[in-house]
Structure 1
Amino acid sequence: MTTQTTTPEIPGAPSSDTTTDTLGIPPHIGRALATGGGALTVVSAFLAWTWTSAFPGDLTVYGYPGGLQVLVLIGGALTTLFGLSSYGVKGLRWLTPAGGDGAIKFAALATFYTTWYTVIAITADLGGIVNLEPGGYIAAIASAVTYLGARALPFERPEPDPIDPDDTRWEHVKHAYAYRWQTIKAAYAGGKPSTLGALPSYVEILIIVAILGLGLTVFTYGIGTEYDELFIGFLITAAFGFAALNKSGLVAQASQITARHQNITICGAFVAAAMFPFTQTDDQYATVGVYILIFGTVALGLNIVVGLAGLLDLGYVAFLGVGAYAAAMVSGSPSSPFDVHFPFWAAVLVGAAASLVFGVLIGAPTLRLRGDYLAIVTLGFGEIFRITANNLDGTSGPDITNGSNGISSIPNLNILGFDFGAEHAIAGFTIGRFANYFFLMLVITAVVVLVFRRSGDSRIGRAWVAIREDETAALAMGINGFRVKLIAFAVGASLAGLAGTVQAHVTYTVTPEQYLFAGPIPPNSAFLLAAVVLGGMGTISGPLIGAALLFLIPNKLQFLGDYQLFAFGLALILLMRFRPEGLIPNRRRQLEFHEDAEAPTVLTKAGA
């Protein structure tokens, strides 16, 4: 094993080991192996990997990658580009503003794991390694070389604080303050100074458009994977590819640009989402899209309660059920005890108002509790709602909810003569039933995002954050904690009820079994809370992305059967281990979770 020593740039700082070589291979050799192996993997993707088209994706064609070969091609291309950027190739330096070694490592992992997963899948599905063509062997060897080269790159350690805090000499004190100021500036700038420099506004807007287009492409590809092997390969490539982009500093650069044009980014995101149904040839995947929006909207409402106010609510799905039941009862269903048929706008108001009332009734006596006690009470409320809805069947109680049979045959919406249950032709594209509801849910999601942004930036939003950070200190500063928490509970509940009104019409039937605490298919309280934590508490895009992942992945992993929840739980454990702040965290939480990793370690006099 070899060790490299680097000297901090601050005067008077002692030398220390900041990087280590894990394989005994010089870093420049490892970088060359990773770059060359990535390029060879790209070439291998254009060769045949098997002789028969029985394996999904048809990997028998020369010169045209198909199926999993496309994902291997992407991983190899990322590895090669990051490697060339680390060499300072002109025109590619902007790819690694935070350094290229970490990016090369994760891109190499994406290439290696996706390639070897494909090779193993071919061997297992077709009955032996003899079914591999030369292209498969070349890809396996090239990706292994890429992996070994990446492993040889040094592991970067946090640089120690070069100043002894017990030394009171003026020069050391001056350098200490300068060092800490540079650290703070770097942290709030995304970790490393930007290499792009100041860009014109129109260029940054074009970059935002490209980012949104890339996001739509990735989501459309993932949701449209037609067989299990391709989806698993997509997960591997997407996970390690995102990690590579994050390590390279491109994610931080994108975050800075989108933060400077937040309104344009939000509007552009909704435009990109509205393009999704037009990318589909039928209504199959629009079904998944509308459920993701329902799930994401409810998660965003929960984010007000958990992410902003810091209240752990384990029965939040009950508010979704209250809104769905209230809307179903007034929407003209023959199973409803009320013989009324309200228009959609009235049904929306009824659903949101019913959830708001229940939020106040439940929150008023329980929000004086804190922490685990509040969580247990909300968990009990969720179960009480489900059991009560199950018992209001005319036998165990009044005939209101029709018991376990629920309220069925809910008619499709008809707004201003537009029938959401019928197909419509728009600009030459046929838009089916679920696509219609997708557009409606997209409008409701925009309303929820607007409410979240305005309330988060308001005086009450700052009070929520104060309660979350330190309730005792907030009360001492004159904030009425009970009133503030009750408002958060009521707003979050009404947003869930708003989404519930659309869910009732999309599913045709509302039953108590749809609103469990935990189950294999969301939405349920456990998955909603996981979506907020996974995506990033206190942010807008975090819960939406978390909800999309948590709905899409179980939907695609149904072939795992009883092991589906096990695989899902394992993935959550790994994510909480390596990225506890969530996928799209705000900067405050990111610094809190990585305080030890980002803050320089302190050298004592003896250590120096």
Structure 2
Amino acid sequence: MTMTNNIPQRSTVLNIPARAARAGTLAGAAIALVGTFLSWTYTDEFPGDLTVTGYPGGLQLLTLTGALLTLVFALSALGVPGLRWLTPGGPLGAIRFLALATLGTTAYTVAAIAVTLDGLIALDPGAWISLVGSLIAVLAALGLPADSPLIADDPPTTWYRFRHSLRGPTPQPPTRPLPAWAEIVTIAVSLGLTLYVFTYGIDTEYSELFIGFLILVVLGAFGLARAGLLHRLTHLTGKHRNVTVAAAFIAAICFPFTQDNDTYALIGTNILIFATVALGLNIVVGLAGLLDLGYVAFLGVGAYTAALLSGSPQSSIGVHFPFWLAALTGAAVSLVFGIIIGAPTLRLRGDYLAIVTLGFGEIFRLTMNNLNGNSGPDVTGGSRGIPNIPDLELAGFKFGLPHDIAGFTLGRSGNYFLLMLVFTAIILLVFHRSGQSRIGRAWVAIREDETAASAMGINGFRLKLLAFGLGATLAGLAGTVQAHVSYSVTPEQYKFAGSAPPNSAFLIAAVILGGMGTISGPLIGAALLYLIPAKLQFMQDYQLLIFGFALIILMRLRPEGIVPDRRKKLEFHEKDQLDQPEERLPEHATGVTKAGA
């Protein structure tokens, strides 16, 4: 006796006929798209001027983008020639996430207009049309048949079907490999689009636009991941690693040339500083497994060393080293501090080590605050710090002045961005070579089980001290550039926690959220954690609260990080299989019946 008669052949969240669901998704996305070409409000008091008919602007462009992507992926699900390559992992999850992104952006815009102006009465028909269209698209997408039929003895719950439909099948590498030149072009185009999206986010002129951009990008990224495009891109970048690295640096070099506003270029420079420091911490936390809660102090050591040696009128030393010598000195002093702190403390493990490193971070901040001439020798200027740090000059190139290069004007922040990009390349090379060496494998062994590593002959203390010292050196190197970018250094810049990075709490969060033990993970995590507070200054009093909620949600949905290490991904998701209802094949497919069993 077989069970095929009672087995559902498709899994949907809403009980909608498949044909109606497909038509509703296409119609809803099209209606939302049409609404963006109509006026959304009667006054231009709302940022972005949404009063123009026939020419979308501001937040309307985000809704238009989400609706257009939803349409394209829905057509791909219908098998339209030329679009099937967009969904190697199945279109269902992509369509639903993109429809949610469109609805989220549109609903946020409607709410922002109502709050900013005179309530819902301030909305013109275009806003209602896009809102209704995006809602129809979401509801219809929830009725689409699953990419892979969910088969079980008992009908699954609606919540489980919703989770399963969003996850979709596991994407696989392309079965038909592209020519090598086409793969390289795909990588270059993808990195160019990434640069464009990143630049658009930094260049947003008002907070409402940035929040809408954030909603669209986050949900859209989930959609692209469910479609399998990110998995396919990862496969290509791993295959052409050298080409990917070169293309990434070329895209990064292009960034300052796209910025007309030096303020936005400064955000990019600070993101690079924060990201490189997070990458140095990744050696300590991600590779060696040492929880360092005072790591930002090493950034301060390098910054203070450069400030004292770079010719500032307020420097108590009164010397002026060339920058390359000041940078090496800052890195060396940070290394010394790392060894001094690590030698007596790295025999501790776990929480005890974390408490000691937290104490070191606070001791550094308080010491810099007390070396003011009253509580101690006048070395660091106390709470006022060391101001008036002069701009750099290397080989006649003055970093404080704008320069015209190939018809583009490169401002002060752009100059420092390119300098910091060189430092980032150095730190990336050190991290990569260290992680792939015998020492790197020993660090991973210590991270996984220090007792077992010691039993295999690994000198845990010496290797942990090496990781601690190397991480401190890289942080000090980045600190020497930070001192010149910010013009001054003060003790309050190097706290454990605060409303904005850099601080130790945000650095650790950048490593964990981005992906411990990976190269690109901390860079992405640091970019997000710096960019979001920098663009949402009006929410400064609530940033830590919002950050806490976001951290909880991300750790629940993706505990291995945005760019997971393969070991961490298996570790976190191997147990999740126990939480899911068992999925079985129909008995006629296996040739086994209940009677036969």
2:507 is matched with which residue? 528
Tell me whether 1:342 sits opposite 2:321 in the alignment: yes
Contact 1:18 1:159 in 2 (8 A): yes
> Which residue, 461, 478, 491 being the options, matches 1:499?
478
1:170 is matched with which residue? none
Alignment CA distance shift 1:87-1:49 (3 Å): same
Cα distance between partner residues in 2 of 1:344 and 1:564? 36
Structure 1 residue 157: deviation in Å?
Answer: 9.1
Alignment CA distance shift 1:488-1:160 (3 Å): farther
1:268 is matched with which residue? 247
1:547 is matched with which residue? 526
1:416 is matched with which residue? 395
Contact 2:59 2:109 in 1 (8 A): yes
Cα distance between partner residues in 1 of 2:398 and 2:187? 35
How many residues align structurally?
Answer: 571
1:11 is matched with which residue? none
Contact 1:18 1:156 in 2 (8 A): no
Tell me whether 1:41 sits opposite 2:5 in the alignment: no
Contact 1:18 1:157 in 2 (8 A): no
Comparing 415-424 with 128-137, greater Cα deviation is found at 128-137
**Code of the aligned partner of 1:86:** A
Comparing 534-543 with 344-353, greater Cα deviation is found at 534-543
Cα distance between partner residues in 1 of 2:505 and 2:87? 38
Contact 2:94 2:225 in 1 (8 A): yes
1:83 is matched with which residue? 74
Cα distance between partner residues in 2 of 1:579 and 1:516? 28
2:431 is matched with which residue? 452
- Residue pairs, 1:197-596, within 5 angstroms: 197-596=176-575
Cα distance between partner residues in 1 of 2:407 and 2:577? 53
Comparing 67-76 with 30-39, greater Cα deviation is found at 30-39
Q: Secondary structure at the match of 1:40?
A: helix
Contact 2:268 2:417 in 1 (8 A): yes
**Code of the aligned partner of 1:443:** V
Tell me whether 1:31 sits opposite 2:10 in the alignment: no
Cα distance between partner residues in 2 of 1:64 and 1:602? 51
Structure 1 residue 437: deviation in Å?
Answer: 0.6
Structure 1 residue 332: deviation in Å?
Answer: 1.1
**Code of the aligned partner of 2:351:** D
Structure 1 residue 28: deviation in Å?
Answer: 4.1
1:96 is matched with which residue? 87
Contact 1:106 1:243 in 2 (8 A): yes
Alignment CA distance shift 1:404-1:423 (3 Å): same
CA offset digits 1:296-333 (Å, max 9, x no partner): 01000001111111111100000000111111111111
RMSD: 2.5
Cα distance between partner residues in 2 of 1:266 and 1:372? 37
Contact 2:172 2:228 in 1 (8 A): no
Contact 1:303 1:543 in 2 (8 A): yes
Cα distance between partner residues in 2 of 1:420 and 1:223? 22
Q: TM-score, normalised by structure 2?
A: 0.91
1:111 is matched with which residue? 102
Structure 1 residue 195: deviation in Å?
Answer: 4.2
Tell me whether 1:74 sits opposite 2:53 in the alignment: no
Cα distance between partner residues in 2 of 1:414 and 1:447? 20
Cα distance between partner residues in 1 of 2:401 and 2:297? 30
**Code of the aligned partner of 1:590:** K
CA offset digits 1:1-40 (Å, max 9, x no partner): xxxx998xxxxxx997796433222344323312221122
Q: Secondary structure at the match of 2:409?
A: strand
Tell me whether 1:134 sits opposite 2:113 in the alignment: no
2:170 is matched with which residue? 191
Cα distance between partner residues in 1 of 2:33 and 2:572? 37
Cα distance between partner residues in 1 of 2:31 and 2:577? 36
**Code of the aligned partner of 1:96:** T
Contact 1:158 1:597 in 2 (8 A): no
Contact 1:95 1:250 in 2 (8 A): yes
Structure 2 residues without counterparts, runs of 5 or longer: 154-168, 585-592
**Code of the aligned partner of 1:223:** I
Alignment CA distance shift 1:138-1:97 (3 Å): same
Structure 1 residue 263: deviation in Å?
Answer: 1.6
Cα distance between partner residues in 2 of 1:67 and 1:196? 40
**Code of the aligned partner of 1:484:** L
Cα distance between partner residues in 2 of 1:122 and 1:229? 10
> Which residue, 30, 44, 48 being the options, matches 1:53?
44
Comparing 127-136 with 578-587, greater Cα deviation is found at 127-136
Structure 1 residue 161: deviation in Å?
Answer: 11
**Code of the aligned partner of 2:64:** L
Alignment CA distance shift 1:271-1:603 (3 Å): closer
Structure 1 residue 542: deviation in Å?
Answer: 1.0
Q: Secondary structure at the match of 1:198?
A: coil
Q: Secondary structure at the match of 2:319?
A: coil
Contact 1:32 1:83 in 2 (8 A): no
Identical residues among aligned pairs (%): 63
Q: Secondary structure at the match of 1:75?
A: helix
Contact 2:10 2:149 in 1 (8 A): no
Alignment CA distance shift 1:154-1:482 (3 Å): farther
Cα distance between partner residues in 2 of 1:534 and 1:506? 27
Structure 1 residue 372: deviation in Å?
Answer: 0.9
Structure 1 residues without counterparts, runs of 5 or longer: 8-13, 163-189
Comparing 501-510 with 122-131, greater Cα deviation is found at 122-131
